[in-house]
Structure 1
């Protein structure tokens, strides 16, 4: 059975059969096509960088100030480089995104042209500038070092033939006058050929990783804000649908079920106990009462009635009274809270107190509700055994997901031996 084809060069390098595949040749093609692009960019950087380095060296060595014409040239060149860099980098990034498919076929999102101002104000545009500078400054140096290593290795391999006519051959840190003296170096160089072959792929993979990191980086703040707004709209839509379901159950199904239960109860009173219909009627009456309790629990689970009647602080105190572990509630809420925030905070406290009762082995717990600025802070602590781990259950993970959907964050501190602290911060916008 043949193994699956690697998805990209970096995964191919981990395979034992890498030297015998097409991936080294693809890496070589990627590096070869990089040379002209990096060479042109390197020359462009030298136009600005070489005079600047020369001027700095002159000041350091001779203490002479920079002449006015040179200072004007450097200033104009620097301004021109900054002004043109976003446009040059746009062309370079477009070419690099298409070239990257040679070693990494995974799609890389393109950045559509979004106007002149966006080339100077968006993070993605300046990430492209950073990649262009890296491609023209760092990549040529890495290529030069690798090429030098290859030439040295080839020279060592050719050492026995170069020393054949009695000529002295310099082999790195020593010399060889005869082929016999050069043979050990040649053998070592031959053994290093696979290392250089892998190094070729490693160099290409590193360049591709930097290209993917800079050219396919995170979205701009505008896009992130739109994602946040979209999530907030989804949460609001969920809350509106939840309220509709609660209203329909409370105002529609629950009264009808209550009326049905009353009629069944009255019918039981009118039917003699020895009647054949008495037994089925009693069963139906009991099932209706059980269904009423279930429906009441469902309505309570959608939004607890205590939360509507008493507010968050009162509802949390009611939870504390019902807990099997003694709970102290400290509430400092001077203003009303959005309904979404109240619901999320209530379920955070309810789930945390449930975990305390079931798993913590605690003798007491504390709940703190504090509003600081535009954020509600909920803290639930206990003196239990600690060691709470989200990986061992879905409770804390689901709680974190619910808090994240409301735009907040959950922090957990639970060392072995306790105590445990669950802290949730929720925006109150």
Structure 2
């Protein structure tokens, strides 16, 4: 009964009907151009172009349809598999989708409306609606089973193979590791080089100001230089923190997240339970996710408060960032959210977004705590 009370039967029907309507619309279009009065040759050429376009569009259309029954979207895939699946889907499978829905719902529907038939016997006016009412919920099961089988077939054909995905993940992980190594080198050079020189300059200017007569022109100039050096030092520290925060390297994610939360213009409630240090690449990804999410909240959400939670269970880091803002966040309209999803995907992780209009907005990230290149 849980299945019947859920929205899955409606989603399964919608999934199958969209496939059937696609094939039906294509069939009507082909019949229309082949029977049009502008000549057989022109009709055949138009039909070939329509069929070729439909085959090319069937793969992307199927990826969109899969979102109706599958929460995990397919990555785009080009090549013969997409074209072949498009041809099979249009010629045969789309019609089967429509037939399953029509037969599964049509039989109970026919029985429900048995009293309206002029030739119906008295017993049919009672037994028909009763049988139809009993069979109509049962029809949801073959529809759901066929939709599940169709979705599995589409995913098996259109999804990249495991070997391809593993190689992509390994390649992207190597790029991220090299990038993080370079970030740490830049942070170290700035911290040990330019920052130390600015500190020395700031101190020397301060000492020089003490040796000058108060109110003199030289004292005023040295004082302004001392102030500018202090501002440059503060900006450099912020730059170093943005490149690769030292607190993340030395103390890990809990301390780094507390540091971010302390500087957020929107109050942040923290709920972090991470007993051990995580791999550096995982910590860097988590830090980026929290930083970018809090930045988006401050800029776009209109929230009064937000929450950051982190748990490490069963070898997976689970992050949740939630705010009480206006909602309506969409990866299709925001490059920041796309960047978050891409960064998490590089770490072999997944991101989930829930942001209905009016809020709240919830971002959930799951990041494996192993090195992707070793998988």
Fold shared by both chains (TM-score > 0.5): yes
Structure 2 CA distance for aligned equivalents of residues 233 and 342 of structure 1: 16
1:213 aligns with 2:80: yes
Q: 2:322 aligns with which of 354, 376, 381?
A: 381
Aligned residues of 2:169 and 2:346 also touching (Cα < 8 A): no
1:288 aligns with 2:136: no
Cα distance, 1:225 vs. partner?
2.4
Cα distance, 1:251 vs. partner?
1.2
Distance 1:323 1:292, change over 3 A: closer
- Deviating beyond 6 angstroms after TM superposition, the runs of 4 or more aligned structure 1 residues are 204-211, 215-219
Extract unaligned runs of 5+ from structure 1: 1-145, 154-187
Structure 2 CA distance for aligned equivalents of residues 263 and 207 of structure 1: 74
Q: Which residue of 1 aligns with 2:46?
A: 198
Structure 1 CA distance for aligned equivalents of residues 79 and 333 of structure 2: 35
Q: Which structure: larger Rg?
A: 1
Aligned length: 246
1:297 aligns with 2:226: no
Aligned residues of 2:293 and 2:321 also touching (Cα < 8 A): yes
TM-score (norm 2): 0.57
TM-score (norm 1): 0.50
Structure 1 CA distance for aligned equivalents of residues 286 and 336 of structure 2: 15
Q: Which residue of 2 aligns with 1:365?
A: 306
Structure 2 CA distance for aligned equivalents of residues 338 and 416 of structure 1: 37
Distance 1:272 1:193, change over 3 A: same
Extract unaligned runs of 5+ from structure 2: 1-29, 60-77, 84-157, 371-375
Structure 2 CA distance for aligned equivalents of residues 269 and 398 of structure 1: 50
Structure 2 counterparts to residues 2-151 of structure 1, below 5 A: none
Q: Which residue of 2 aligns with 1:253?
A: 194
CA-to-aligned-CA distance 1:87-136 (integer Å, 9 cap, x gap):
xxxxxxxxxxxxxxxxxxxxxxxxxxxxxxxxxxxxxxxxxxxxxxxxxx
Structure 2 CA distance for aligned equivalents of residues 200 and 377 of structure 1: 51
Q: Which residue of 1 aligns with 2:295?
A: 354
Distance 1:415 1:215, change over 3 A: closer
Q: Which residue of 2 aligns with 1:170?
A: none
Distance 1:398 1:224, change over 3 A: closer
Distance 1:373 1:281, change over 3 A: same
Distance 1:252 1:320, change over 3 A: closer
Structure 2 CA distance for aligned equivalents of residues 207 and 381 of structure 1: 42
Distance 1:373 1:405, change over 3 A: same
Q: Which residue of 1 aligns with 2:274?
A: 333
Q: Which residue of 2 aligns with 1:317?
A: 258
SS at match of 1:381: strand
Q: Which residue of 2 aligns with 1:227?
A: 168
Q: Which residue of 2 aligns with 1:240?
A: 181
